[in-house]
Amino acid sequence: MTDLDQPIINPGKGIFKLRVAERIIFVPVGICLRILALRLGAKKTRKQAYPSRIYRLKGKKEINLAGPAMGAPVAGMVLEQLIAGGAGKIIFIG
């Protein structure tokens, strides 16, 4: 094994270590996220995708609500953290 076989950066390591559900509903506007979480009975989790919040919905399959993230650069940063944390199917509402 050579140095070229080793990753330069390991996703999910360090201060942004995060584990999320495979299914994410991403809501970029804070008030819309809070209203949706309240209506769906979602519980805020202790884990966070900086600078966003994550809520958990329980059902047959676990789903997380994530947001807010205003602006493309911040949304991209948050989405990268969610994907590194295990998200595979993301629905963007906004």
Instruction: Please give the single-letter amino acid code of residue 94.
Output: G
Task: Quickly state the pLDDT bin for 10 (edges 50, 70, 90).
Answer: low
Question: How much is the pLDDT for 16?
Answer: 59
Greatest CA separation for the chain: 52
12 has pLDDT over 60: no
Q: Residue 23, Cβ neighbours under 10 Å: how many? A: 15
Q: What average pLDDT does this structure show over 21-45?
A: 94
**Distance in angstroms (rounded) separating the CA atoms of residues 14 and 7:** 15
Task: Quickly state the pLDDT bin for 13 (edges 50, 70, 90).
Answer: low
Q: Residue 44, Cβ neighbours under 10 Å: how many? A: 13
pTM: 0.79
